[in-house]
C-alpha cells in the first residue's frame, strides 16, 4: 500500500486554500483560518481513506464465530461521513468569498477534488 504523507498533503492543501482565499478582507481572514485548517485536514484524510479503499476495497469479509459476511469497509464508513463534513466546510468558505469569485472557486475546487479521486 502506498503510504500518504498526510502532513505534507495538509500543508499543500493549506497553501492552495490560502491562495484561493487571499482576496478575503483581513478581518475575515482570521475568522476563516480554522475552517481552512479543518478543510485541509479533512482533504488529506479523505485522500488517505481513498488510498486504503483503493488497496483493500470498499467491502471486507467479516467473520464472527461461524458467521462470514461481507460488510462495508470501516474506511468507507469514515469516508462517507467525512465527505459530507468536508463539503460543508468548503461551502462555508466559498460563501465568504466575494460574490464574483464564488462561482469560479466552486468550480475549481470541485474539479480539483474530482481529478484527485481518479
Helix (H, G, I), strand (E, B) or coil at 71: strand
- 41-100 tens-digit pLDDT: 999 999 999 999 999 888 888 888 888 888 888 899 999 999 999 999 999 998 887 776
Give the residue, 21 or 113, on which the prediction is more confident: 21
Contact yes or no for 13/39 (Cβ under 8 A): yes
Q: Which residue has the cell 479521486?
A: 117
User: 52: closest CA among 38, 73, 71?
Assistant: 73
The model's pTM is 0.76
Domain locations along the chain: 6-22+36-54+68-117
Amino acid at each position: 500500500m502506498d503510504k500518504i504523507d498526510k502532513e505534507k498533503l495538509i500543508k499543500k492543501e493549506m497553501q492552495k486554500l490560502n491562495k484561493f482565499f487571499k482576496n478575503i478582507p483581513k478581518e475575515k481572514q482570521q475568522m476563516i483560518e480554522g475552517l481552512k485548517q479543518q478543510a485541509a485536514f479533512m482533504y488529506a484524510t479523505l485522500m488517505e481513506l481513498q488510498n486504503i479503499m483503493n488497496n483493500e476495497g470498499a467491502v471486507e469479509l467479516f467473520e464472527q464465530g461461524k458467521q462470514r459476511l461481507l460488510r462495508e469497509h470501516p474506511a468507507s464508513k469514515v469516508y462517507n461521513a467525512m465527505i459530507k463534513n468536508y463539503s460543508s466546510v468548503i461551502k462555508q468558505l466559498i460563501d465568504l468569498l466575494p460574490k464574483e469569485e464564488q462561482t469560479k472557486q466552486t468550480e475549481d475546487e470541485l474539479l480539483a477534488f474530482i481529478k484527485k479521486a481518479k
